Amino acid sequence: MSDDFELDTDDLQRRMDGAMANLRTEFASLRTGRASASMLEPVMVEAYGQPTPINQVGTVNVPEPRMVTINVWDKGLVGKVEKAIRESGLGINPQLNGTIIMLPIPELNEERRRELTKVAGHYAEQARVAIRNVRRDGMDQIKKAKADGMSEDDQKFWESEVQDLTDKMIAAVDNALEHKQSEIMQV
């Protein structure tokens, strides 16, 4: 019966690729020298009872190289948007001007660069955890098949396949982190 077991490695690969795509998006939000609207993408605002991306509660503009502005459409959300930015870990201090929130991007000093490398490390660790969770799901499927009568040789084969895939993706995360950290520390 279990000779027919076929682990869906494509599904595991797709889910691990999703973790990598999420990591790339988060890394894109860590701008090293210039203001960018994408730096606000991971920031969620508690709006109308649910987490909402900033670009869905206001217009995000980059009028100057070191300034991002958010024109919040609903006056009642200005405080929530400001709070979400302060708590986001971006290290930006929002300034209010009516319904417009101005985000002056500070010049990156050595201390700020180190902070950003720590944030990048945190994002990478989240990606590693997501990949390990996918690995665990794959291993659980193998254990279930083993309980249903899969041979030990097949079990070892599938476990090594899942582990190889995991190792490859963790190495990709480490490589992306190393690249991003060197980009951040560049003066």
pLDDT in tens, 71-81: 999 888 899 99
This prediction has a pTM of 0.66
Check residue 168 and give left, alpha or beta (phi > 0: left; psi -120 to 50: alpha): alpha
CA 32-34-39 angle, to 5 degrees, is 75
Which amino acid is it at 35? A
Ranges of residues in the chain with a pLDDT under 50 are 1-2
Please tell me the predicted confidence (pLDDT) of residue 108: 74
3-state DSSP percent of the chain in helix, strand and coil, to 5: 60, 15, 25
- Parse the chain into domains and list their residue ranges: 2-26+109-185, 33-104
The pairing of strands 58-64 and 67-72 is antiparallel
How many Å apart are CA 102 and CA 122, to the nearest integer?
26
Residues 54-74 pLDDT 10s: 888 999 998 887 888 999 998
Residue written as tokens 């010049």? 107
Give me the CATH topology for the region 33-104. Answer: Gyrase A; domain 2 (3.30.1360)
Please tell me the predicted confidence (pLDDT) of residue 7: 83
Please tell me the predicted confidence (pLDDT) of residue 31: 62
Which amino acid is it at 133? N
Alpha-carbon distances, residue 156 vs 7, 142, 162, 169 (angstroms): 12, 9, 10, 20
**2-26+109-185: CATH architecture:** Orthogonal Bundle (1.10)
